[in-house]
Structure 1
Amino acid sequence: MNAIAKAPKKQFRKNRGQGMTEYIIIVALIAIAAIGVITLFGDNIRKLFGASAAALAGKDNVENDGQEATDQLKKKTMKNFGQNNTYN
Structure 2
Amino acid sequence: MKNLSHRPKNYLGDCSSRKITGQGLTEYLIIVAIVAIACVGAASFFGDTIKANFLALGSDLTGGEAVDRVAETSTSRAKAKTDTNSKTTLGNYNN
TM-score by length of 1: 0.70
Confirm whether residue 30 of structure 1 aligns to residue 72 of structure 2. Answer: no
Specify the SS of the correspondent of 1:60: coil
Answer with 1 or 2: which has the greater Rg: 2
Distance in 2, matches of 1:49 and 1:66, equals 12
In the other structure, the counterpart of 1:69 is: 73
Correspondence for 2:57 among 26, 36, 52 = 52
- What are structure 1's unaligned runs of at least 5 residues? 82-88
**Could you give the per-residue CA deviations for residues 21-44 of structure 1, whole angstroms, max 9, x where no partner exists?**
101111110111011101100111
User: Is 2:48–2:76's contact at 8 Å kept on the other side of the alignment?
Assistant: no
Count of residues paired in the alignment: 76
**Could you give the per-residue CA deviations for residues 29-76 of structure 1, whole angstroms, max 9, x where no partner exists?**
01110111011001110010000001111223322x442113432564
In the other structure, the counterpart of 1:2 is: 8
Distance in 1, matches of 2:43 and 2:17, equals 39
- What are structure 2's unaligned runs of at least 5 residues? 1-6, 86-95
Give the percent of matched residue pairs that are identical in Structure 1 and Structure 2.
Answer: 38
Confirm whether residue 13 of structure 1 aligns to residue 18 of structure 2. Answer: yes
Aligned Cα root-mean-square deviation (Å): 2.2
Higher helix share: 1
TM-score by length of 2: 0.65
